[in-house]
Amino acid sequence: MGQMKISVIGCGYLGAVHAACMASLGHEVVGVDVDAAKVAALASGRPPFYETGLEELLGQTLPSGRLSFTTDVTAVAGADVHFVCVGTPQRADSYAADLSYLDAAFRALVPHVAPGALVVGKSTVPVGTAERLADELAAVQPDATVVWNPEFLREGYAVQDTLHPDRLVLGVPGGDAGERAVKILDDLYAAPIAEGSPRLVMDRATAELVKVAANSFLATKISFINAMAELCEVAGADVTSLADAIGLDERIGRRFLNAGLGFGGGCLPKDIRAFMARAEELHADPAVSFLREIDSINTRRRERMVHLTVGVLDGRPLAGARIAVLGAAFKPESDDVRDSPALDVAVRLHERSAHVVVTDPRALANARRKAPSLQYAETVEEAADGADAVLVLTEWRQYRELDPHRLLGVVAHPRVVDGRNALDPAAWRDAGWTYRALGRR
């Protein structure tokens, strides 16, 4: 088919990146979103969030005419492939995923789906959602096909992960419709497939499970090493040395065995909770009951950071102490503060009457909206001015590479709590700092 006409429904983090990347591969892409401000920003080449390389990609694809954004869903008419990239946040009243945005977007799309077109879901959904949506589409347009093609994007690397994915998962129906869908998507993703990205074809239910199973495994690995950190603290052991040793076992591997504050963001926490909720609906909750402890371990790390901060103050009350918090985003190379462990710790300290000053290279605007009661600073030096303790809570490169000698003349007391095990303890101690970290002596 060569160049295809593509629509992307939902232009948030996933959709905006996907739209720009598909346009860069030579396809004609229209992105649709109900948020007029978001659409206007994207259409002018200004992403409404920070993602490495996205602004540059918009600058390349928008002038070509291959990429456009609109609030008008009728603009999708005639598209060969419709990607559904709508968010599925956690419901306010339970662990379950809120599918109301997805359902609304899908129902707005369906009347404009042409015969033979593909509707490709990329959103993270409870298993069984694709079959339900396929039935709804068949009632209106029986010659169109629903496919599930989950995303595996890492914030900060989303452009790279879209253009050079580590795998492409295609969940298709059986029979001729499924075979045809695979041929179309093989053509659409011809560039990454030619580079060697593995392409796996399976049924739709399995494709839905791939994403939540992958996130659950990752969360389990992170929480495992954090559970070991809890033991190391009471046993007088060092969790980083422990992780180095067990990570050399090729069955385990060293990646994501970094003890610290744990995971956050808009994916892992809500995805494992939605997985538990869906398993309960299917009467299979014992199979994933361990995820409750994974979630609990992750949450405990935040309160443990508060305790470490109190301990490093050498008997001074936390109330009134000036605490510099380096990091507000849930991870580096992102401005995302959704369920951010760093911001959560800052709020907990503030609620205990500490004087908290937060800085971050990218996430200050979002942090101010999320936690307006905190004080914010543009630079590390401003945040650390007169500080009784400095907390490193997001492992931005500029924080990992801080010169401990340079900060000595800024703080009131040279005490640092490393919430990400990102610093060199010897360098900071040699410079005269009291150093504490999660899971280390």
Residues marked active site are found at: 267
Residue with tokens 């591997």: 253
For residues 229 and 237, give the distance between their C-alpha atoms in angstroms, rounded to a whole number. Answer: 9
For residues 377 and 365, give the distance between their C-alpha atoms in angstroms, rounded to a whole number. Answer: 11
Q: What SS3 state is found at 415?
A: strand
DSSP 410: T
The length of the chain is 441
Q: What SS3 state is found at 181?
A: helix
| Structural contact between residues 144 and 137, judged by C-beta atoms closer than 8 angstroms | yes
> The sheet that has 118-121: what strands, in order across it?
67-70, 28-32, 5-9, 81-84, 118-121, 145-148, 168-171, 199-202
Which residue, 433, 321, 308, 306, is CA-closest to 387? 321
Q: How far apart are the first and last CA of the chain?
A: 61
Strand runs labelled E in 11-167: 28-32, 67-70, 81-84, 118-121, 145-148
The residues that bridge with 69 in the sheet, in sequence order, are 31
Which residue, 391, 380, 374, is CA-closest to 260? 391
